[in-house]
Amino acid sequence: MEKSCFLAGGDRRQFWLSRLLAPTAEIFSLGVPGLEDRLPKQAADLLVLPTPCLNGQGRIRSVGDGGLDWSALAGLYDHHTRVYGGALPRAMEKLLPGCGPVTELLEDRTVAAANGRLTAEAALALAEERLEGSVFGLDCTVLGYGRIGKPLAELLAARHARVTVAARRPEVRAEATQRGLNTWDLQGPPPRTGLLFNTVPAPVLKAEALSALEPDCLWMELASAPGGLPAGYEARFSVLNGNSLPGRRLPRSAAAVLLAGILRKEDSL
């Protein structure tokens, strides 16, 4: 029997997920860009929420409006409905105990790693678009060396940028050094930087380091809230919002990553 899949809210990733799931599931949707609203007549087998799920007002995130109210989902899921999405803990307060098993896609290591690579790829393209030039020969700093920082540093190095990885932990800097990258321990003034990518979800640079950044530096914020700049900080340099880049810049590829996570879980049930 064909499964029913209800996609609620989100960005273009949800649209492409509907395309990818359509051969094996009956698709229903509400507030998905590019799809007409079509509600199931009974509780769906799968409920796919956005990644991340909530907007700043605690509503289901959607493009171009204030989000979807949770009441719009009433009666469209039950305790048999399997729920998928990203950054779900707060969202579950609205659903539990009424829904079935919940899968946090961003906790799937394969999904997180692939999403990090897509974020790095999209960040590099967006940076060059904003700079109106190549990163070839440019002094670039990557703040943090995790699932986004590592592939980003590798991409920059492959494009012959001069890359510095900024990290506190000696073992992290040692790994970056082994890969032929420069490193900075966050102490003292930063290296000369024309382009800085922040992947750390906290302000870790001291005031003196921030003040030493050149006015023509471009800071791209890739971390989740609160990000790498102190609240209320008035930067002398340009700051570019790089949040949710896979959904904004590479939604088709990002949807394929999420689908793989969903299918892995479904096959294990």
| Tens-digit pLDDT profile for residues 48-90 | 999 989 988 889 999 876 899 999 999 999 999 999 999 888 7
Is residue 93 scored above 90 in pLDDT? no
Q: What is the DSSP letter of 10?
A: B
Report DSSP state, residue 38. Answer: B
pLDDT at 1 over 90: no
Residue 255 has pLDDT above 70, yes or no: yes
Assess whether the region 3-107 and the region 117-243 belong to the same CATH fold. Answer: yes
What is residue 2's predicted lDDT score, i.e. its pLDDT?
A: 76
Q: Is 94 in a helix, a strand, or coil?
A: helix
pLDDT band at 252 (very low <50, low <70, confident <90, very high): very high
Q: Rounded distance, CA 9 to CA 54, Å?
A: 10
What percent of the chain is modeled with pLDDT above 90? 85
The tokens describing 185, both together, are 């321990």
Over residues 157-184, the pLDDT tens digits come to: 999 999 999 999 999 999 999 999 999 9
Rounded alpha-carbon distances, angstroms, from residue 219 to 73, 159, 166, 237: 39, 19, 14, 7
What's the fold here for domain 117-243? Rossmann fold (3.40.50)
Q: How many Cα neighbours within 13 Å face the side chain of 13?
A: 30
| Residue 269: predicted pLDDT | 56
Q: What is the mean pLDDT of residues 28-53?
A: 95
> What mean pLDDT do residues 112-129 have?
97
CA–CA gap between residue 74 and residue 69 (Å, rounded): 10
Domain ranges of the chain: 3-107, 117-243
CATH code that applies to domain 3-107? 3.40.50.720
